[in-house]
Amino acid sequence: MIAADTSSLVAFFAGEAGPDVAAVGDALQAWQLVLPPVVLTEMLSDPRGSAALASHLAEVPLLELGPAFWRRAGELRAKVLARGQRSRVADALIAQSCIDHGVALITRDPDFRHYVRAGGLRLGP
């Protein structure tokens, strides 16, 4: 299993190129892609989004949130912020979802590197 961030999913569905886009395609084809719940929310938040996209995303399994998830996510974000690094709430929630499930994250957003150092997030190809 491997998770995808919104940045890489948007690039994939827009037909862009890149190692992250290729990794998303490979994971989808192998039925190995999973989504943090926040990523699904972000993807469905585009008012111009298509019904076909929503239908396709409905087939991708979600990472479930476990007990004390919100506390762990807040503590992770606090660690990143204490280092003087950027930490959006949504990014912290995505990172914590992946950390909790031990899955790597495909992303093109460089801010996720902060969660590697602070919480052990693994980044995919």
25 within domain boundaries: yes
Q: For residue 70, is pLDDT > 80?
A: yes
- Give 76-101 pLDDT, tens digit per residue: 999 999 999 999 999 999 999 999 99
124 within domain boundaries: no
Q: For residue 112, is pLDDT > 80?
A: yes
60 within domain boundaries: yes
65 within domain boundaries: yes
For residue 30, report the phi and psi dihedrals to the nearest 5 degrees: -90, 5
| Residue 31: domain span | 2-119
Quickly state the pLDDT bin for 124 (edges 50, 70, 90).
Answer: very high
- Give 8-61 pLDDT, tens digit per residue: 999 999 999 999 999 999 999 999 999 999 999 999 998 887 788 888 899 999
Model pLDDT, residue 125: 81
125 within domain boundaries: no
110 within domain boundaries: yes
CATH code assigned at 98: 3.40.50.1010
* Residue 26, amino acid: D
- Domain count for the chain: 1
Quickly state the pLDDT bin for 107 (edges 50, 70, 90).
Answer: very high
